[in-house]
Amino acid sequence: MGGLVRSQGGAVQVDFRLFDIFTESQLTGLSLSADPNNWRQVAHKIANAIYERLTGDPGYFDTRITYIAESGPETNRSYRLAIMDQDGANHQYLTSGNSLVHTPRFSPDRTKIAYLDFGERNKRPNLKIYDLQTGQSTSLREAHGMRMTPRFSNDGSHLLLSVAENGTTCLYKMHLGSQQLEKLTSSAGAIDVSPCYCDKGQNIVYNSDKGGSPQLYVKSAMGGEGKRISFGKGQYFNPIWSPRGDLICFIRKNGGTFSLGVMGTDGSGERLLDSGYLIDGVTWAPNGTRLVYTYQAGPRAKSTLRSISITGHGKGTLNIPGEGSHPSW
């Protein structure tokens, strides 16, 4: 690998080449010009190019993670929407911490974040969308029932979410233009939550207790009943379809232990990658090769963000200023 960095007209010019010394050939190369303040982004683009050339997968180095930053004692906890580079740099708080916020989710173009805000004195939960370009949050139209677990559709035109009302929690689609709700499930007395589209938007994976305990189901986005795909010991939560479309990640609770795992989209080939006192809020890297999730080692341990590859290797803790939960990559 070789490179040259020089100043040119107030900008930083970076030339980079990756060589195979055995074949004596160039594998890839880039020539980038940027403002000196953006040197980290240049380095990340180079890292992306190396990673993709060597692995065949797109790089994730020039990406960001949003999460819920937590601080203070349990009796007076502060929760703030926060964002950072995937390596923990350029950390920013996006909300004040005056109200409880929960389950942030990026839009497909990574310019907006949908999240749940419980409002003044944490008594008026409502869905909001934070615009990273304007720095403003917009409340979505209030409606009957408690709305939760929002997630953008693949094209960003609507949200998948759950609405709890009269003892039943059903899945809905909310069109962001009209903000009209379209009901997707109707299991009386059941709790259907955490919906997520597959990579092409044809199917939805979600969590439901309609069979007696929380399990994972897949249904067509066009309608029809869901088909159960989880059959291991314990309860299943938080399913998310991989960006590559080949796997579904999940959280499993068996006895007093939480585990993080992946399975095929039909429920086959289940593998557990990590376990602990508490695991929650998992998210995929944009290239589908890594996972980030909430991890707590014990009842009095701090809530941290942990990262792991889908092979179960490369486990590490993200560098955040304090405690954190519910990441979205």
Which of 77, 83, 84 has the alpha carbon at shortest distance from 99?
77
Paired tokens of 189: 């007395």
Shared domain for 161 and 305, answered yes or no, is yes
Shared domain for 45 and 114, answered yes or no, is no
Q: Please, are residues 255 and 277 in contact by the beta-carbon 8 Å criterion?
A: no
3 state DSSP class of 191: strand
Rounded to two decimals, the pTM is: 0.90
Q: Is residue 188 scored above 90 in pLDDT?
A: no
Sheet containing 136-139: which strands, arranged edge to edge? 101-106, 112-117, 126-131, 136-139
pLDDT tens-digit series, residues 114-162: 999 998 777 778 899 999 999 999 999 877 778 899 999 999 999 999 9
Domain boundary, last residue among 10, 32, 55: 55
pLDDT of 5 reads 76
Shared domain for 212 and 253, answered yes or no, is yes
Shared domain for 163 and 208, answered yes or no, is yes
Q: Which amino acid is at 224?
A: G
Mean pLDDT across the stretch 203-224?
95
pLDDT over 70 percentage in the chain = 99
Shared domain for 141 and 15, answered yes or no, is no
Number of domains in the chain: 2
Structural domain boundaries, residue 100: 64-328
Averaged confidence pLDDT in the chain: 91
Q: Is residue 69 scored above 80 in pLDDT?
A: yes
Instruction: Using the Cα atoms of residue 273, residue 274, residue 275 and residue 280 in order, give the sign of their dihedral.
Output: negative
Shared domain for 45 and 107, answered yes or no, is no
Mean pLDDT across the stretch 53-80?
92
Shared domain for 248 and 276, answered yes or no, is yes
Q: Can you tell me the distance from the alpha carbon of 198 to that of 91, in angstroms, rounded to the nearest whole number?
A: 30
Q: How far is CA 206 from CA 41, 142, 147, 162, 211, in A?
A: 35, 24, 15, 10, 13
Q: Can you tell me the distance from the alpha carbon of 256 to that of 250, in angstroms, rounded to the nearest whole number?
A: 17
pLDDT of 295 reads 97
pLDDT of 1 reads 62
pLDDT of 124 reads 76
Mean pLDDT across the stretch 212-229?
94
For the chain, counts of helices (H) and of strands (E): 1, 27
Shared domain for 180 and 47, answered yes or no, is no
Q: What is the DSSP string of 129-185?
A: EEETTTTEEEEPPP-SSEEEEEEE-TTSSEEEEEEEETTEEEEEEEETTT--EEE--
Domain boundary, last residue among 15, 34, 55: 55
Shared domain for 14 and 74, answered yes or no, is no
pLDDT of 33 reads 78
CATH label of the domain that carries residue 283: 2.120.10.30
Mean pLDDT across the stretch 67-78?
91
Beta bridge partners of residue 2, listed in sequence order = 17
Strand-pair category, 215-220 with 203-208:
antiparallel
The b/e string for 257-294 (b: 16+ C-beta within 10 A; e otherwise) is: ebbbbbbebebeebeebbebebbbbbbbbbbbbbbbbb
Shared domain for 318 and 295, answered yes or no, is yes
Q: Can you tell me the distance from the alpha carbon of 259 to that of 291, in angstroms, rounded to the nearest whole number?
A: 13
Shared domain for 71 and 51, answered yes or no, is no
